[in-house]
Amino acid sequence: MKKLLTIIILLTLCFTGYSQESNKELLKKAETELNLALEKEDYENAAKIKKEIEIRKKIETAILEGNYEAAAQLKKELNGGGTSIEVQKTEVKETGKIEELNISSSLESMGFVKPSSNKAAVYFVRKNIYATSMRMNIFDGEQFVGGAVGGTYMRYECTPGKHMFWSWSEFNNHKVYLPATLEAGKVYIIQISASRTTSKERKLSGKSMREYIYTLHIKGIKPQNKRQEQLVSFVRNRSSRSYPEKVIRRLNSEYELEIKDAVENFTNKHTNQELEVNDFVPEILLQ
């Protein structure tokens, strides 16, 4: 009886501290405050509020899944203690692999957000809506990091230095590659798109129409490229496409063979184009 009473008290505390309704009210209030901050062009405050919104959305998910330990850690983070990384490590003990993965694309962002001082931010933008429902999967080396359908973009924060970004879709039996060298604290734009495969492309590839319906494109956008301002404008007033951590884990497992094939072909499949360290978006465009 005593044990049962203890359990009831604990559950009561959990639902009192993290009730879905109260968190929803605070989330709604934060979203209103974010709109006001943006209207006043108080971007520093907007960035703080945006982070709060992201954490409160995670609390909602944790409550729905009954993961009150994660909800408690997230609430602690809101109050200035603990970090989301600590929460991720707590959640991952069951699966054992997420600690090795970069899950930055699981966090939704609004417009441009500067990366941490020791990271670089890459925006994968798919502005065109051709084959709009076809998801272009995006990879960083040996890891699936997210994807984009037509008219969306994805934000990815990673370590500076050399990377091999590539894209692939289940609709096609081909991959496109882009080597990149990134600098800490900088923001880069990579444009991804799809177009109808021409008969010439199909003939050169030796693949059938069924195997090669669309041609995928991946291109690092340099400062001198006229498209840069258009893509910056596209990103500025939109929310990013984000991927839950569970989805990132699952797809990394499902795409294991495709990743292996891509790694084996890095050296002879990528184009001559490269996103270089100085090809970051100028600060003036991000303001």
What are the tens digits of pLDDT across the range 85-105? 333 333 333 334 445 788 899
12 pLDDT more than 60: no
Helix (H, G, I), strand (E, B) or coil at 187: strand
Domain boundaries, the chain: 2-94, 104-286
Helix (H, G, I), strand (E, B) or coil at 270: coil
Phi, psi of 178 (to 5 degrees): -145, 110
Identify the sign of the CA torsion 233, 238, 239, 240.
Answer: negative
Mean of all residue pLDDT scores within the chain? 79
Average pLDDT over residues 192-213: 79
What are the tens digits of pLDDT across the range 51-71? 788 788 888 777 776 676 677
Minimal CA–CA distance to 218: which of 162, 287, 169, 284?
A: 169
pTM of the model: 0.64
234 pLDDT more than 80: yes
pLDDT band at 9 (very low <50, low <70, confident <90, very high): very low
As to burial, measured by CB atoms within 10 angstroms (0-12 exposed, 13-18 middle, 19+ buried), residue 44 is exposed
Helix (H, G, I), strand (E, B) or coil at 24: helix
pLDDT band at 258 (very low <50, low <70, confident <90, very high): very high
Residues 6+ apart with CB under 8 A from 23: 56, 59, 60, 63
Q: What pLDDT, on the 0 to 100 scale, is given for residue 88?
A: 36
The span from the CA of 31 to the CA of 44, in Å, is: 15
For residues 74 and 253, the model is more confident at 253
What are the tens digits of pLDDT across the range 131-166? 888 899 999 999 999 999 999 999 999 999 999 999
For residues 34 and 176, the model is more confident at 176
> In 3-state terms, the chain is what percent helix, strand and coil (to 5)?
45, 20, 35
